[in-house]
Chain A
Amino acid sequence: MDLSLSTRTVGDRTVVEVGGEIDVYTAPKLREQLVELVNDGNFHLVVDMEGVDFLDSTGLGVLVGGLKRVRAHEGSLRLVCNQERILKIFRITGLTKVFPIHSSVDEAVAATD
């Protein structure tokens, strides 16, 4: 399975819906997408991970890179994830403290700092 990406705008947020496997092979595609969004002036991102079947440290690295980019513009990067096996990876790496993780896109879109 490959990686699928689609983006849509909800208010001032840009929702990136990710599906499939984020690993050492597919992560560069996600990185490109995030870089492009930030370069185009989208600084408030919501990454919807509900369709993600697999995430490894390369994928985590890309998300951290995305967070650094939006923060440079006083933006935000929120995640949507309810899958225990994906959440576990954020927990063991301590990244639950770095990313706001929401249970739905609506909740992430409505959230403010």
Chain B
Amino acid sequence: MATVELRFSALPEHVRTARLVAAAVARRAGVDEAVLDEVRLAVGEACSRAVGLHQSGGISAPVTVVLTEEEKQFSIQVGDEARHQPLHAVGAPGVVDEVDAEEDEMGLAVISGLVDDVEVTAGEDGGSIRMTWPTNPSPTILP
């Protein structure tokens, strides 16, 4: 089950909120302080991308951010409902155009440069970016 789930209207002004929430939850989950800047940036990039996809596709549905704390890792999944072009296919009508796709790639480039464990999925009904970071389990106090 998600530790925290966030849904926001696809507007640029809410991306900052998503960054702040993600960083706060990541800190609590035990993600290393030194990595929190990367978490903030990566989440911001993923959310900016999702907002852009919703806006250019005229999609009124919210962007979702699912933050999940697991035993030794913390993951963030940013989901959009945009209709994605099948990878390497061109010319299909009504899909994300090339200029948008380029900006999209800049965000993805930053994410893949920052996060080692990234999974990008894209389909007809939407896409998602799942990013995972290791956590330091809080030290167990022995009796």
Instruction: Indicate if the CB atoms of B110 and A89 lie closer than 8 Å.
Output: yes
Interface of B is mostly: helix
B interface bracket (residues with beta carbon within 8 Å of A): 20 to 34
Instruction: Indicate if the CB atoms of B15 and A92 lie closer than 8 Å.
Output: no
A54: chain B residues at CB < 8 Å are 19, 40-41, 44
Q: Given known contacts A25-B15, A57-B106, A93-B110, is B48 in contact with A85 (CB within 8 Å)?
A: no
Interface of chain A residues 55 through 110 with chain B (CB within 8 A)? 56-58, 60-61, 85, 89, 92-93
**Interface: B13 (CB within 8 A):** yes
State the Cβ distance, A54 to closest chain B Cβ, in Å: 7
**Interface: B113 (CB within 8 A):** yes
Name the contact of B12 in the complex, choosing from A24, A60, A85, A92 (C-beta under 8 A): A24
**Interface: A23 (CB within 8 A):** yes
State the Cβ distance, B120 to closest chain A Cβ, in Å: 15
- Nearest 3 A/B pairs, CB to CB: A92-B113, A25-B12, A24-B48
Chain B residues proximal to chain A, CB less than 8 Å: 12-13, 15-16, 19, 37, 40-41, 44-45, 47-48, 51-52, 103, 106-107, 109-110, 113-114
Chain A residues proximal to chain B, CB less than 8 Å: 21, 23-25, 54, 56-58, 60-61, 85, 89, 92-93
